[in-house]
Structure 1
Amino acid sequence: MLPDAIDSSLATGPRDDAHFMERALALARRAADMGEVPVGAVLVRNGSVLAEAHNLIESMPDATGHAEMLLLREGARLLQSWRLDGVTLYVTLEPCPMCAGAMVLARIDRLVYGAPDPKKGAVDSVYDVLRHPANNHRVQVSSGVLAEPAGQLLRDFFVARRTRP
């Protein structure tokens, strides 16, 4: 893992969803600056930030280097348990099937995401991984938090990527 990609030395007081999503957006911007798809995420428990991450797929290089996967691993390390009870995961883009499945397996309490992903979204857009009847754990979902700036960041990133020489 790259040293600046995950920060688990953070502590904040209770905040609202928009506050944590703003933090995730700042991380997404950092990812874009590195040439990574701009997705940022924040892991919160009891109103305090446990860790933050952004996509590192290109930098690692590792197809599982999604911000959400990095946070779930770091959360398990910090809490010394793969069961992430009481945790809320904030992410700027609707999770893919891999990340949504990992959230169910890690038993997070809540997911808050920004922009929908009409191509690979596995929560509301294309698939419904979190609410599948076979799951033995239910994740609460809040969607659309700061969706416009999150979506615009992604659109700008891909326009720039397609137009560069």
Structure 2
Amino acid sequence: MIVPFHDINNSDISYDQYHFWLMRDVEMMNYALEIAKQGAKFGEIPVGAVVVHEGRILGEGYNCPITTQDPTAHAEIVAVRRACETLNNYRLPKGCILYVTLEPCTMCFGALIHARISHVVFGAFEPKAGAVVSQLKLPKQAFYNHHLSVYGGLLADKSSALLSGFFRQRRQEKRAAKAQA
């Protein structure tokens, strides 16, 4: 189940405030998509992430495990590390939002819990390894000492198209290399 953290049914939130939040979410997700494209230029799977607190970008990053030779260098982890460095604290303040173009995996979800991210907004669903909604549904687990809200599917078509295009190009390159061999 996806739990939107901007609940229009909450009597404390006006429609105008909800609309403002939604437009901000779209703007930040588009920014995360641009960051993801940077990673693709280096042959990395195009996933981008941005950590925002009260409208201020604290950290951003794209997938870079290949170029850094670091299997933990997923976009979410890179963005959270940079946000923590910005604040000089391993815990992020209440209200931090992570925008990421792909549903987080188990490793990334664990980092989000430890960093105390309050909200996650993701683009494309990850049917194979998505730990937030698609497979494990980790936010629903009661045993965590921190809980976060999740909104999935924002600009999912754009996120999915970016990923599909990347893998299509990669397959074409492999076929071309095989044909030349």
Work out the CA distance in 2 between the residues paired with 1:129 and 1:140: 11
Instruction: Report how far residue 110 of structure 1 moved.
Output: 0.6
One-letter amino acid matched to 2:97: T
Q: CA offsets per residue over residues 10-65 of structure 1, 9 Å max, x none?
A: xxxx8610000000000111111110000001110011111221111110011001
Q: In structure 1, what is the Cα distance between the partners aligned to 2:32 and 2:133?
A: 20
Instruction: Find 1:31's aligned residue among 34, 39, 57.
Output: 39
Alignment of 1:15-164 (within 5 A): 16-85=24-93, 86-164=95-173
Counterpart residue type for residue 32 of structure 2? A
For 1:90 and 1:52, the matched residues in 2 are separated by: 9
Aligned alpha-carbon RMSD (Å): 1.3
The unaligned stretches of length 5 or more in structure 2 are 1-20
Say which one has the larger Rg: 2
Equivalent-residue separation in structure 1 for 2:96 and 2:103 (angstroms): 17
Aligned partner letter, 2:47: V
TM-score, normalized by length of structure 1?
A: 0.88
Give identity over the alignment, percent. Answer: 42
Letter in 2 for 1:143: G
Report the counterpart of residue 14 of structure 2 in structure 1: none
Q: Which ranges of 4 or more aligned residues in structure 1 deviate by more than 4 Å?
A: none
The structure that is helix-richer by fraction is: 2
CA distance in 2, matches of 1:35, 1:157: 9
| TM-score of the superposed pair, with normalisation by structure 2 | 0.81
Residue 7 of structure 1 corresponds to none
Structure 2 residue aligned with 1:6: none
AA partner of residue 24 (structure 2): D
Distance 2:79 2:37 in 1: 17
Which residue of the partner structure matches residue 8 of structure 1? none
